[in-house]
Structure 1
Amino acid sequence: LNRAAVYMELGRNNLAQADYSLVLDLEKNNEEALLMRAYIYMQQREYKMAKADYERLLKVNPASYNGRLGLATLEQKEGKYEEALSVLNNMIATTGETSQLSSSQYAMLYVARAGVEKDLNHMDMALVDLEEAIRLDNSQPEIYLMRGEIYLAQKKKDLAKRDFEKAVSLGVPQADLRDLLQQTRK
């Protein structure tokens, strides 16, 4: 597991995947290995393999935050938006009842759901979720990036510019947003 983690840090995902597979040969229900191998499979667009690992992880630990969020992300990448929304809605509902998560983790659920809603072109619903994410944790640049993109699509250039500048103030390199910021000036 430790060597696989180092391989991940070095960007050598194939070697990390091999190590996680070795761990799973020895311990078929190792949660860390299942989660990380599923992540690597998603990066490689091996969605069936990723789904199998996420499902196995969720059989071992049905409450796994990272496993459920990973599965929702996978469903979104495959264009299965209703399935992704179902997973995220369930997570938000159960988290609201139990409050086991930090406000940052809870905010990420709203950001993830806003991303699916954006893909479905439900921009107003996405904006509502992003507002809730900001209320829960206003330090996540992803929130402002997504909201800025929505505002830009809605031709609300001043609001988009403000959000992109906020994302830069939270650590996103300005060079990464140069094109988006230029679009707010046109």
Structure 2
Amino acid sequence: MKEYKIVVLGNGGVGKSALTLQYVQGIFVHNYDATIEDSYRKLSKVDAENARLEILDTAGTEQFTGMRETYYRTAQGFVLVFSLAETSTFENLKQTFLDILTIRGEDVPMVLVGNKSDLAETRQVEESDAQNFARKLRIPYFETSARLNQNVSEVFEECAVLIQKIGKSQSERRRWSSESEIGDKKCKNWLRSCCCCLIPCFTTD
């Protein structure tokens, strides 16, 4: 069974733990202590194949500076969470995205999540702004409510699908590169043998 390692990132208080617990355990926690680091596992299906999602719920990005690079290097995919009711959490994710790219390069599976969509009366981040940002990053965007369990499973399952797709793409590139190298060697050997046949052998008396 394949495993997909997903790290949930975002400022403290945006609802990372609430989203994770809603997905893994089907519960909504109203009050909980600030997360240091919690790991959860959930059996799921990715493109009709059984899979195990290993989800790391991290502390707020402003709190785990010592572990940040480790998270960025070891995760297969990222769920980037901000609060729709707090503009600063949205702005801070832009730097998080750049930091991940700096360490990992392109083709990193990521999903952007605007959480707390149920708090319409206190909303600060417009859907169009978040969608435009996600479009520039070329990553999916979801608006979620951990309390109402809206779009929660879709977030994690979409991240797993992206991990699988990018993994297959990288495998294809490696296979193509390997086959190209083999083809080049065969071509060189063939040319070498042909040249040997075409060049007449002269003997000196």
Task: Report which of the two has the higher share of helix.
Answer: 1
Bigger Rg, structure 1 or 2: 2
Task: Report which of the two has the higher share of strand.
Answer: 2
TM norm structure 1: 0.32
